[in-house]
Amino acid sequence: MSGIFLAGSDDSWEESVRKAFGGTISGELRAWNESSEDDTSKTLGDIRSIEPLVVTVGPALGSESALKLCSEIDERFPEICVVLVSEPGDGVFERALRSGVRDVVSPLADASEIRETLDRAKETALKRRSNLSSGPQNTEIESRVIAVVSPKGGAGKTAISTNLSIGLAQQLPGQVVVMDLDVQFGDVGHALRLLPERTLSDVVAQGSRLDATVVKACLTPHPSGLFVLSAPDTPAEADDVSPEQITKIIEILAKEFKYVILDTAAGLDEFTLTAMESATDLLLVCATDVASTRSMRKEIEAFDQIGLTTQRRHFALNRADARVGLEIRDIEGTIGMEVNVAIPSSRNVPLSMNQGTPILESSPRTPVARAYGELVNHFLAPPKDSPSLAASTEAAVSRFRRKREVR
């Protein structure tokens, strides 16, 4: 099996690739430098016989020929990662995504960027081969879309979202995605020590061209096997995001992943409402203070009033051992729900958030990590009932939105 195949290359690009790998490449480096751009049959035949992990296309080909070849390779060899070698320009990235390209790299990129891009593509290709070799997936298994919600900030919602996501991904690598729906100030990426190259803004920029290929190309992989769709980089970019686009993105993710975790903003903004409408499960997060408990009760009452009654509900009590005069049974009585998981206080949690390493990875034997583990197992267990996402839910939520707009 060859490591990298250079299609439509030139001497300069071939030398750049060799330099990026210090003159040594894992697997044979094969280059195709045919002058004809019309007949790609020889190239496709070579790819079939060599079975590379990665094919770079360009820079010697014209843009149309390069994209056509990318599309053919992706269609015929889904286990191979295609990287387009091209200068960035208007529409290049978007057209490349639609042609099945995994990444785009400039022919003038430095050695470290080339190495990083191709190594990332090789890792993705290996995962694809592993998934294909494991046989057909059971399409009858229901995807679970879990919206993590809290009426007030500071309840520990993002810590719970990220640890739940990590825990599920450790059990089901490649089958879990977390989407940051605090579109203005989301920090899921920071909590996981990720620097995403693309965010939700890049997805919605596609407009009517938004599809599974675009969404998956904008996900950031985490070493645990988790995938992350990060919030926009700035609050200004969030203005371009609409609830309708969020609904479509969630639908796409639910078809591609076993678990979709939605980390929402505090309260009931447009995107939180959209997340809850699209969810199969609501994970309600509350702290032990009186204000949080009263706010949670009001939020649950609002759910009932607007018709969000068909999703499964789960209750996580955060900082459950805080000595503030409220017992767990008092909180359960006030809210009208049983606590599914009680998560104790720990100074390790804010430290882990600042460091970008979830507790389940940094301190897996601590009491708080064990509680997160209970939450993971709670969602790994088969659901006791199936959600019935009735059409009336959408109508009721729409009425609630209109009332808010009138105010």
Domain coordinates in residue numbering, the chain: 4-133, 144-406
Distance CA 218, CA 298 (A): 36
How far separated are the first and last CA of the chain, in Å rounded? 64
Task: Take residue 303 and report the two structure tokens written for it.
Answer: 């759910």
Distance CA 164, CA 281 (A): 14
* pLDDT for position 197: 84
How many Cα neighbours within 13 Å face the side chain of 190? Answer: 12
Helix locations, 4-110, DSSP H: 11-20, 41-50, 63-76, 92-98
Domain spanning 4-133: CATH 3.40.50.2300? yes
Residue 25 pLDDT exceeds 60 = no
What average pLDDT is seen over the chain? 84
Residue 66 pLDDT exceeds 80 = yes
Phi/psi class of residue 262: alpha, beta or left (left: φ > 0; alpha: ψ in -120 to 50)?
beta
CA 336, 338, 339, 341 dihedral sign is: negative
In the sheet that 29-32 helps form, which strands lie side by side, from edge to edge? Answer: 29-32, 4-7, 54-57, 81-85, 103-105
* pLDDT for position 159: 94
The answer to whether 196 and 230 are in contact (CB under 8 A) is: yes
Residue 26 pLDDT exceeds 60 = no
Q: Hey, do 4-133 and 144-406 end up sharing a CATH topology, with the first three levels equal?
A: yes
The answer to whether 81 and 125 are in contact (CB under 8 A) is: yes
Distance CA 319, CA 329 (A): 15
- CB within 8 Å of 398: residues ≥ 6 apart: none
Phi/psi class of residue 51: alpha, beta or left (left: φ > 0; alpha: ψ in -120 to 50)?
left
Burial of 329 (0-12, 13-18, 19+ CB in 10 A): exposed
Name the pLDDT band for 135 (thresholds 50, 70, 90): very low
Distance CA 271, CA 185 (A): 13
Distance of alpha carbon 24 from its chain centroid, rounded? Answer: 33
* pLDDT for position 341: 93
Closest among 129, 55, 103, 128 to 217, alpha carbons compared: 103
- Asked whether the whole model's pTM tops 0.75, one would answer no
Residue 390 pLDDT exceeds 70 = no
Closest among 231, 279, 272 to 404, alpha carbons compared: 272
Mean pLDDT of all residues in 170-191? 93
Of 21-25, 235-239, 283-287, 326-330, highest mean pLDDT: 283-287
Which of 25-29, 103-107, 213-217, 260-264 has the lowest average pLDDT?
A: 25-29
Distance CA 352, CA 340 (A): 24
Does 114 or 41 have the greater pLDDT score?
114
Distance CA 330, CA 312 (A): 22
Dump pLDDT digits (tens) for 278-309. 999 999 999 888 888 999 999 999 888 888 88
- DSSP H/E element including 4: strand 4-7
Domain spanning 144-406: CATH 3.40.50.620? no
The answer to whether 37 and 61 are in contact (CB under 8 A) is: yes
**DSSP for residue 30:** E
Mean pLDDT of all residues in 241-258? 93
